[in-house]
């Protein structure tokens, strides 16, 4: 997200908000835009009302930025929202403080991957199949259907790059979801995934920006596409579309809050994390924006019609695949090189 936001709020004086870095007690760094707007309304502002002094910033991600801040000493940041690979790599490198879950909540109350040594799950999102319900009355139900150009003629769209496309290819070739990374960890498994991509290559269009899949689907350029689940509900609500999501075999990811090494505001940071991790508070977040929540107990408090649109609902998680960040940290360079050579043929 490109928007850069820095909002410093210390207190109220004669009804006027006084901004000051000097009095901000904890700095929270998220993704900006409408996503952070929703976080502010649900999490940040209620804590401000209780007296917690919060400074906000936003960023676009990148482990190099965090490395530089830690090396510089006082980074000015306390809690940062990071993607799965950044969470794993930064924890291994000692960029984050290990979390004390006794001050947050019981790890078992969170979905898999949301309570780790260095991270508390911030939100859940999935890469899924989407299609236009007005075009396909009986749409695809699996990755095998996504690959079946006889049953569903037309172009498909995948995100440029090997990540997740190799997993999808293996599931299309009959690999069980819980065996995908085991198979992909072998040379034969990688060969099998690329061979399956070969079958679909003549019918593929590649996307890179997050808004492209819905544009391709809306224009009729593709009959189905992979996309972030939140994009589908957003398009349906804002553009009155009838796009459908296929959750079966979707790959879900968990962004995490991490506490940067050297934070001088750890007590306030833990106060925020405890509030954030509470099921009652998390249940209000999807009402503002359709991203899933990390606390399993929150699902019971979310309206049924909203829960059906979330990757974190129990029913959806049961048929989804957790993204393996460690696998991709180890293999991204070699597989990207192979994918680039493959796509250039």
Give the pLDDT confidence of 281-294 residue by residue, as tens digits. Answer: 999 999 988 899 99
The domains located in the chain, with CATH, are 26-124+254-312 (3.40.190.10), 125-252+320-344 (3.40.190.10)
What's the pLDDT at 25? 87
Cα(298)–Cα(291) distance, integer angstroms: 13
Q: Evaluate if residue 12 carries a pLDDT over 50.
A: no
Alpha helices in the chain (DSSP H): 33-39, 45-49, 63-71, 84-92, 143-147, 165-172, 180-184, 187-200, 212-219, 229-239, 266-277, 279-282, 304-307, 314-318, 325-344
Task: Give the residue with greater pLDDT, 143 vs 25.
Answer: 143
Mark 148-171 as b/e (b = at least 16 C-beta within 10 Å): eeeebeebbbbbbbbbbbbbbbbb
Number of DSSP helices (H) and strands (E) in the chain, helices first: 15, 12
From the number of C-beta atoms within 10 Å of its C-beta (0-12, 13-18, 19+), residue 51 rates as exposed
Q: Evaluate if residue 34 carries a pLDDT over 50.
A: yes
Residue bearing tokens 């680039």: 340
Cα(4)–Cα(200) distance, integer angstroms: 39
What's the pLDDT at 94? 96
pLDDT digits 0-9 by tens, 210-237: 889 999 999 999 999 999 898 898 888 8
How much is the average pLDDT of 291-303? 93
18 alpha-carbon distance from chain centroid: 34
What's the pLDDT at 19? 40
Cα(66)–Cα(47) distance, integer angstroms: 26
How much is the average pLDDT of 297-321? 91
What's the pLDDT at 23? 54
Task: Give the residue with greater pLDDT, 231 vs 144.
Answer: 144
Cα(35)–Cα(321) distance, integer angstroms: 24
How much is the average pLDDT of 149-164? 97
pLDDT band with cut points at 50, 70 and 90 for residue 52? very high
What's the pLDDT at 289? 87
pLDDT digits 0-9 by tens, 97-121: 999 999 999 999 998 889 999 999 9
What phi, psi does 96 have (nearest 5°)? Answer: -115, 155
pLDDT band with cut points at 50, 70 and 90 for residue 6? very low
Q: What percent of the chain has pLDDT over 90?
A: 77
pLDDT digits 0-9 by tens, 322-341: 999 999 999 999 999 999 99
Task: Give the residue with greater pLDDT, 151 vs 5.
Answer: 151
CB 120 within 8 A of CB 114: yes
Cα(206)–Cα(209) distance, integer angstroms: 10
pLDDT band with cut points at 50, 70 and 90 for residue 73? confident
């Amino acid at each position: 997200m490109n928007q850069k936001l820095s909002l410093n709020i210390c207190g109220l004086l004669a009804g006027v908000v006084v901004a000051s870095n000097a009095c901000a007690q904890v700095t929270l760094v998220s993704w900006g835009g409408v996503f952070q707007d929703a976080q502010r309304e649900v999490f940040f502002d209620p804590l401000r009302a209780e007296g917690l002094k919060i400074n906000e910033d936003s960023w676009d991600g990148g482990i190099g930025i965090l490395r530089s801040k830690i090396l510089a000493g006082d980074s000015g940041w306390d809690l940062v929202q990071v993607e799965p690979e950044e969470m794993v790599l930064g924890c291994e490198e000692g960029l984050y403080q290990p979390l004390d879950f006794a001050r947050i909540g019981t790890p078992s109350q969170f979905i898999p991957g949301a309570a780790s040594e260095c991270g508390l799950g911030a939100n859940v999102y999935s890469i899924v199949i989407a299609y236009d319900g007005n075009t396909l009355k009986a749409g695809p139900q699996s990755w095998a259907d996504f690959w079946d150009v006889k049953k569903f003629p037309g172009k498909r769209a995948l995100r440029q790059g090997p990540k997740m496309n190799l997993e999808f290819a293996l599931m299309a070739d009959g690999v069980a979801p819980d065996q995908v990374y085991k198979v992909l960890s072998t040379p034969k498994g990688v060969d099998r995934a690329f061979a399956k991509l070969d079958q679909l290559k003549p019918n593929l269009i590649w996307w890179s920006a997050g808004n492209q899949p819905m544009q391709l689907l809306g224009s009729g350029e593709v009959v189905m596409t992979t996309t972030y689940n939140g994009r589908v509900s957003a398009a349906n609500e804002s553009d009155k579309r009838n796009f459908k999501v296929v959750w079966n075999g979707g790959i879900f990811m968990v962004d995490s809050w991490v506490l940067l090494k050297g934070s001088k505001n750890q007590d306030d940071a833990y106060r925020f994390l405890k509030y954030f991790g509470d099921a009652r508070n998390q249940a209000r977040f999807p009402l503002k924006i359709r991203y899933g929540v990390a606390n399993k107990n929150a699902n019971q408090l979310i309206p049924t019609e909203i829960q059906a649109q979330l990757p974190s609902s129990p029913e959806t998680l049961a048929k989804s695949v957790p993204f393996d960040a460690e696998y991709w940290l180890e293999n991204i360079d070699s597989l990207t090189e192979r994918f680039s050579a493959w796509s250039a043929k």
